[in-house]
Amino acid sequence: MKTAFVYSDAIARFDYGSRHPLKPFRLKLAYELIRACGLLGSPDPRVVEAAPAGRDELRTFHARDYLDVLAASNSGRPAPGAERYGLGPGDNPVFPGMYDWSALIAGASLLAADLVDSGEVQVAFNIAGGLHHAMASRASGFCYINDPVLAIRRLVDRGRKVAYIDIDAHHGDGVQEAFSGTDRVLTVSLHESGRSLFPGTGFAHETGSGAGTGFSVNVPLPPETDDELFVHAFSVVIPPLIESFRPDIVVSQLGVDTFRTDPLAHLNVTTNGFCGMVSMIRDLSPKWVALGGGGYDIANVARAWTLAWAVMNDAVAPEVIPAAFLGQYAGAGFPNNRLRDVPYTIEGPQKDMMRKEVERVIAVVRENLQRRH
């Protein structure tokens, strides 16, 4: 399997601010752990240097006036009217290099799409990508430029059918909105219910519009959902959809804010369930553009995406994190010095209630799909 790891050290040099939960440093941590585990070994040319997307490339989705404000705020001082575009204190701070950071991530996702579409590789992974909340004219949910939309649009413009699979804890609202009216893109998002988590969307009745009716699929899961139920919902919903849609390329968002110790969501996924879903995506994808996403426990991010990269390469990752890496990043909080989590499941009445809710949602999704056909 030919693979490409699209990355630049420059991505980790930006800073949302000391109190912001999104830490770009987590990307360098993941890259360094992948390398320490021997998964980027020479002479295999797997690492491909990312380059920023140009203004014209960003304009394929984002509005000109919005990009003007982003660029004008790149110094770290908000441009006049920035708040109208979702920029300012809180989720989407104005920080030095904000536009440069966003353009670099977008360029990395576009490069990943190009590498896969050309046949140069079968799988390309941009761990910095997956900023799925950004809207055409507004920043949202820590996201300024929607790199999944840009990558998918490029592929669709070339005549490709694309399936987008999102397993982040938060609904992939920006991607769904961008493609809700087309049957050339299937968007599927499994996430914590919008009743308990930002952005408050992604309910099962959201199925698209016009020609795209039935091509937006949402599986909202109850808080505290564990590996067993998350993987069950994935395995029941995703494979039949992909087999029916028959995409040319799969684009996936592999957010790990679903994990038990993530501070921003309320789910109980571990590396065990996560790797199971990554393996299924690999097996279902004729070609695969993999993107990162959420994850606010930086040790979880590094461990999970190291394991995901191993799956993409049919490689075996070590059980124990290399001692030299742990010595260099002693304060990053790696539990028990191991890559994989101990299995975790919930039992009892709480599990019974969650199972009923998950089965109810799956039944609604199936009914929606039957109605489409």
Domain ranges, ordered by start, for the chain = 3-372
Residue pLDDT, tens place only, 317-361: 999 999 999 999 988 999 889 999 999 999 999 999 999 999 999
SS3 259: strand
Q: Mean pLDDT of all residues in the chain?
A: 96
The residues that are catalytic are: 171
Predicted local confidence at residue 371, as pLDDT: 78
Residue carrying structure tokens 């199971």: 276
DSSP at 84 = G
Does the pLDDT of residue 373 top 90, yes or no? no
Q: Is residue 161 within 8 Å of 255, Cβ to Cβ? A: no
Dihedral pair phi/psi, residue 265, rounded to 5°: -130, -175
pLDDT grade, residue 46 (50/70/90)? confident
Q: Which amino acid is at 343?
A: P
Q: Assign domain 3-372 to a CATH class.
A: alpha beta
Mean pLDDT of 102-109: 98
Give me the torsion for CA of 360, 365, 371, 372, rounded to 10°: 180
Cα–Cα distance measured from residue 117 to residue 85, given in angstroms and rounded to the nearest whole number? 33
Does the pLDDT of residue 42 top 90, yes or no? no
Q: Is residue 19 within 8 Å of 62, Cβ to Cβ? A: no
Q: Does the reported pTM lie above 0.85?
A: yes
